Structure 1
Amino acid sequence: MVLLIVDTQKLITNKELYEFDMFVSNVKKIIQAARENSIEVIYVRHDDGAGNALTKGTDGFEIYEGFQPINDEKIFDKNVNSAFRETGLLEYLISKDEKDIIVAGLQTDYCIDATIKCGFEHGFNMIIPAYTNTTVNNKFMSAEQSYRYHNEHMWNGRYAECISLDETIERMKSSQKLVAFNR
């Protein structure tokens, strides 16, 4: 089991996001729970390329202050929506024989959606804790509608397990107990 934190970068982690305060609080909780239960935390950052606001080397590209990696937590950079495409993440997870991936981050209707579907296609059990992903309004639907559509309709039971934050944390604890038992 690993925790994948996707695109929680300074430029796009802001008050325009649906349920921003709850999102920040829940992501902090899930990161803390992962660390307390020896679940690896892996970060992914999106690079839009030279000349764009979300570009490697800019302050906005860096991970949001409240979610900063510690010690040797891995960071993979990407330039497409999926965290798995040409980043080395897929190969890394396969080499570690990981099966369960908890996903949190930004944005629900872009990189989180692509990462969940691609992870599913690669055979991973994708786990989505409630209110650990979010997005902004777009011209087709509000941020709330987009969040609810993906979390309550599109992913759950198809591509992922969309479960409560508390249930996710309990699974982390159980996973760690199982690892300790098997040693």
Structure 2
Amino acid sequence: MVLLVIDVQKLIVTEKLYKFDLFVSNIKKLICAARKNKLEIIYVRHDDGAGCELTKGTDGFEIYDEFKPFSQEKIFDKSVNSAFRDTGLLDYLKNKNEKEVIVVGLQTDYCIDATVKCGFEHGFNITIPTYANSTVDNDFMTSEQSYKYYNEYMWNTRYASCISMDETLNKMEE
């Protein structure tokens, strides 16, 4: 089992996120539990490319201070929504014969959605803890509507197991 922490970068981890405080608290709990239980934590960062705000080399590109990776924890960079496309992550997990992936991070309706669906297509068992992914309002839905649509309707039992934090923490201890 691995904890996949996606796009928790300084530029986009802001108080505009749905249930910001709960999101931050839950990610910190999951990272702490993974380290305590000796589960691998893998970070993924999004790079929009030169000339954009979310670009390698800028402060906003770096992992949010409260979620900082340890030096031995892996970081993969991506330039598309899915953490599995052209990053090396897919080969890395397959070479480890890893099947269980806990997915957390940003944003629910973009990179989390793409990663969950692609992970499912590649045969991974995806777990999504409650309030460990988030997003902001868009032109079509509020952040709350987006969160509920994906977590309560779209992913659960189709592409992933959307379960409580307590259930996830217990699963990490097994």
Alignment TM-score > 0.5, same fold: yes
Deviation at 1:71, TM superposition (A): 2.9
Whether 1:154 and 2:154 are equivalent positions in the alignment is: yes
Structure 2 CA distance, aligned partners of 1:127 and 1:109? 16
Structure 1 CA distance, aligned partners of 2:164 and 2:30? 11
Structure 1 CA distance, aligned partners of 2:95 and 2:169? 25
Q: Which residue of 1 aligns with 2:33?
A: 33
What is the CA deviation profile of residues 52-74 of structure 1, one whole-angstrom value per residue up to 9, with x for unaligned ones?
00000000000000000013100
What TM-score does the superposition give when structure 2 sets the normalisation length?
1.00
Whether 1:139 and 2:142 are equivalent positions in the alignment is: no
Structure 2 CA distance, aligned partners of 1:169 and 1:71? 24
Task: Give me the identity figure in percent.
Answer: 69
Structure 2 CA distance, aligned partners of 1:71 and 1:164? 29
Alignment length, in residue pairs?
Answer: 174
Runs of 4+ in 1 over 4 A off after TM superposition: none
Q: Which residue of 2 aligns with 1:110?
A: 110
Please give the root-mean-square deviation of Cα atoms over the aligned residues, in Å. 0.4
What is the CA deviation profile of residues 8-54 of structure 1, one whole-angstrom value per residue up to 9, with x for unaligned ones?
00000000000000000000000000000010000000000000000
Q: Which residue of 2 aligns with 1:74?
A: 74
Query: What is the DSSP-based 3-state SS (H/G/I as helix, E as strand, rest coil) of the residue aligned with 1:151?
Result: helix
Aligned residue type for 1:54: L
Structure 2 CA distance, aligned partners of 1:76 and 1:104? 15
Gaps of 5+ in 2: none
Deviation at 1:95, TM superposition (A): 0.5
Aligned residue type for 2:98: E
Structure 2 CA distance, aligned partners of 1:124 and 1:167? 19
Aligned residue type for 2:106: L
What TM-score does the superposition give when structure 1 sets the normalisation length?
0.95
Larger Rg belongs to: 1
Gaps of 5+ in 1: 175-183
Aligned residue type for 2:3: L
